[in-house]
Amino acid sequence: MKKPATAVSHDHYAVWSGLASRDPDAEVGVLGIPFDGAAQHRRGAAQAPAELRALTLQLAPSAEEGAPLRVRVRDYGDVPSDLSWPRDLALVEERAAEVLNHPFSLFLGGDHSVTIPLMRAFDRIVDGPFGVLHFDAHFDLWDNYDGDPWSHACSERRALELDGLDARHMVFVGVRCFCPEDRESMEAYPGSTYFTARQCYRRGIEAIASDTVALLRDVPAVYVTLDIDGLDPGFAPGTGTPEGGGPSTRDLLELMRVAMRELPVRAMDVVEISPPLDHSGATSLAALKVIYEVWGVLQDKL
């Protein structure tokens, strides 16, 4: 029987645009953490790992200016969710430690609480201090949110409790929501630097990227956490806590190109994409554009 004219084929490329590999020495390791039970508002981020992978079936293996991607990507699948997030924390940490043996690791959330066990694993694996580049509309520095220390609003507060992370090596980019609880954490852990969305707009993303590099260039490893709500909702509407006035996808691409080229970025997570709220797929596709550009810069460094 002939397919309807509107049917879309999903067999043009294999997953990750044909870059998937079983080689344990692959340049990139990928792990999905389909958990959104720590989000306090609109959920749906648990569906993001599957949606992102499905979209790669239709994406060319290329960076945006035409360079063919040649990195090998070993996808470890998803961490199965438990009914208890505290129990899940240990499992995610163990699985992430395995993936972090690759030169570069990509973690697909999930809400921003998944960054807590991911950074714990990073702290274990990295030899020495490390830095964090946090792209987000929010600081996520609450000690607890509605009594929950594992909330997606607490990810960076939990990170600052790790042995390998000094507040001076934490840089926030794109923030535009200030809560008293975040300020309390900044007072408890002084030294972090933040660049607001307005600073990104007025000074230009190149200047912000340059300042970020200067702040993080002396650490042996950098972890990047990309909350998709760091983008303006016009570019990334499919997220649970959108904040107007943010940077564009273009800005994020330029920031990540500089960070990948100039800093020892070892791992990156992408969180808070909610496919049920992303009716056009624009949010997921923006994230994949950034991921593929990151890989394009990575392969030139390896």
| Cα-Cα-Cα-Cα dihedral sign, residues 25, 270, 279, 296 | negative
Is it true that the peptide bond before 77 is cis, omega within 30 degrees of 0?
no
Select from 64, 57, 44, 56 the least CA-distant residue to 237.
Answer: 44
Between CA 297 and CA 103 the distance in angstroms is: 13
Query: Which residue carries 């593929």 as its tokens?
Result: 292
Beta strands in the chain (DSSP E): 28-33, 73-78, 104-109, 130-135, 165-175, 193-196, 222-227, 265-271
Exposed (0-12), middle (13-18) or buried (19+): which is 84, by Cβ within 10 Å? exposed
CATH topology of domain 15-301: Arginase; Chain A (3.40.800)
The two counts, helices (H) then strands (E), for the chain are 9, 8
Q: How far out from the chain centre does Cα 1 lie?
A: 43
Q: What is the pTM of this model?
A: 0.92
More confident residue, 205 or 44: 205
Residues 215-228 have a mean pLDDT of 97
Share of the chain above pLDDT 70, in %: 92
Range in 77-81, 181-185, 296-300 with the lowest mean pLDDT: 181-185
Residue 195 scores a pLDDT above 70: yes
Report how far apart, in Å, the C-alpha atoms of 282 and of each of 28, 129, 225, 230, 274 are: 24, 36, 20, 14, 11
> DSSP characters for 13-33?
S-GGGGTB---TT-SEEEEEE
DSSP state at residue 187: H
Select from 89, 106, 111, 116 the least CA-distant residue to 31.
Answer: 106
Share of the chain above pLDDT 90, in %: 79
Residues 82-91 have a mean pLDDT of 75
